[in-house]
């Protein structure tokens, strides 16, 4: 589980914090997942917004809490937990509220969460190509150098491989001036394969593990919502997934969370119009046969 050791943490103040604190960003998919989880459990938590657009996630202070410089991060009674799926497991085990990770279906649940986590960079690719122009996301060399140097660089006391992967992602982004068409096609292909699998599971039941909502639904809902915003025609390609998404959208505790900030929606609408006119929408690039009307 992603509980950090004291050696990993440079911002020592948080070690004295009591209660539940979440570092998060409104438009971050992983933050949305954790917020929904906390909402559905009825847990009171203190909000610490980290503005990714202003790069607050790479400040010395925040990198002293999460050495990866990513949101979300949870602080509970002085313990720091990173990685959204580990945060869900921690909350499920240690905090009160209705159970959302059934132990009798643990291996299935963990398998869905593992696939979701593996697709995280694919989700990023689609977000950073179709939700806003690449300029919005780009970090120049000196920003990357600052990121490399900041924070402990360790997780559980050992050099953090995940930070190296982050750096590699951003170096590729800089080199290619954004996300390439080939990356998009690969990411769409991987999503399509997983959503086909999800579609067949949902043909016989309302939710991923059966009749009630679990962490698997929350995690996958956020991804499905996001790729649809990016222009992936969810309902056209995966009818059952579309039906399930609509059901979850009507559920208390979920509705508000995936919404993008208004300013981001305006940028996204203009960017999508341009992409559509230039024939470089997600469907054009990934050669998908259909387009979908996007709901926000
Ligand atoms: N595997 C991590 C991924 C976290 C992640 O990549 N978070 C994104 C937002 S969804 C982030 O903080 N990005 C930092 C950036 O854009 O600089 C998790 O599940 O928590």
Residue 67 resides in a domain: yes
Same domain, 52 and 110: no
Task: Pick the atom of ligand 1 nearest to 162's CA.
Answer: 1
- In this structure, the answer to whether residues 219 and 237 fall within a common structural domain is yes
Other C-beta atoms closer than 10 Å to the C-beta of 49 total 13
Domain ends where: 49, 79, 102? Answer: 102
Q: How far is the CA of 119 from the centre of ligand 1 (A)?
A: 12
Please compute the mean of the pLDDT values over residues 116-128 and round it to a whole number: 98
Report if residue 153 sits inside a domain: no
For residue 25, pLDDT over 90 is answered with yes
- Domain CATH code at residue 263: 1.20.1050.10
Is residue 295 over pLDDT 70?
Answer: no
228 and 245 together in one domain? yes
Domain assignment present for 266: yes
In a domain, 86, yes or no: yes
Instruction: Give the model confidence (pLDDT) of 61-98 as tens digits.
Output: 999 999 999 999 999 999 999 999 999 999 999 999 99
pTM here is 0.96
Does residue 151 belong to any structural domain of this protein? no
Do the bridges between strand 20-24 and strand 46-49 make them parallel or antiparallel, or are there none, so unpaired? parallel
50 and 90 inside one domain: yes
What's the average model confidence in pLDDT over 29-53? 97
- Same domain assignment for residues 254 and 197: yes
The answer to whether position 169 is within a domain reads no
- For 271, the domain range is 105-137+178-285
pLDDT of residue 263: 86
Does one domain contain both 109 and 52?
no
Q: pLDDT by residue (tens digit) across 155-213?
A: 999 999 999 999 999 999 999 999 999 999 999 999 999 999 999 999 999 999 999 99
Q: How far is the CA of 211 from the centre of ligand 1 (A)?
A: 30
Total domain count for the chain? 2
**Alpha carbon nearest to ligand 1 atom 17, residue:** 52
Distance 120 CA to ligand 1 centre (A): 8
Domain shared by 93 and 214, yes or no: no
Q: Is residue 216 in a domain?
A: yes
Band of the pLDDT at 256, cuts 50, 70, 90?
confident
What local confidence, expressed as pLDDT, does residue 264 receive? 86
Give the CATH number of the domain where residue 51 resides: 3.40.30.10
Output the ligand 1 site: residues, CB below 6 A: 28-30, 52, 57, 70-71, 83-85, 117, 120
In the prediction, which pLDDT does 291 show? 59
Q: pLDDT value at position 289?
A: 79
**% of residues, the chain, pLDDT over 90:** 92
Residue 294's pLDDT is 52
Q: What pLDDT is stored for residue 173 in this prediction?
A: 97
């Amino acid at each position: 589980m992603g509980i950090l050791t004291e050696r990993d943490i440079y911002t020592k103040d948080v070690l004295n914090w009591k209660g539940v604190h979440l570092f998060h960003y409104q438009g971050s998919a992983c933050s949305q997942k954790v917020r929904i989880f906390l909402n559905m459990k009825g847990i009171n938590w203190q909000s610490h917004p980290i503005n990714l657009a202003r790069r607050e996630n790479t400040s010395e202070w925040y990198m002293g809490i999460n050495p990866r410089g990513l949101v979300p991060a949870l602080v509970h009674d002085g313990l720091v937990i990173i990685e959204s799926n580990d945060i869900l497991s921690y909350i499920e085990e240690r905090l009160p509220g209705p159970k959302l990770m059934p132990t009798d279906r643990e291996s299935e649940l963990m398998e869905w969460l593992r696939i979701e986590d593996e697709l995280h960079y694919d989700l990023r690719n689609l977000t950073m190509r179709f939700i806003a122009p690449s300029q919005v996301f780009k970090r120049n060399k000196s920003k990357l150098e600052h990121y490399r140097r900041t924070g402990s660089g360790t997780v559980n006391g050992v050099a953090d491989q995940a930070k190296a992967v982050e750096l590699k992602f951003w170096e590729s982004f800089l080199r290619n001036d954004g996300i390439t068409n080939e990356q998009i096609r690969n990411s769409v292909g991987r999503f399509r394969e997983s959503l086909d699998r999800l579609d067949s599971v949902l043909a016989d039941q309302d939710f991923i593990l059966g009749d009630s909502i679990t962490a698997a639904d929350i995690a996958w809902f956020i991804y499905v919502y996001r790729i649809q915003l990016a222009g992936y025609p969810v309902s056209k390609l995966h009818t059952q997934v579309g039906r399930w998404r609509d059901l979850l959208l009507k559920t208390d505790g979920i509705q508000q969370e995936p919404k993008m900030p208004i300013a981001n929606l305006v940028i996204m609408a203009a960017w999508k119009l341009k992409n559509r006119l230039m024939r470089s929408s997600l469907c054009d690039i990934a050669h998908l046969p259909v387009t979908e009307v996007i709901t926000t």
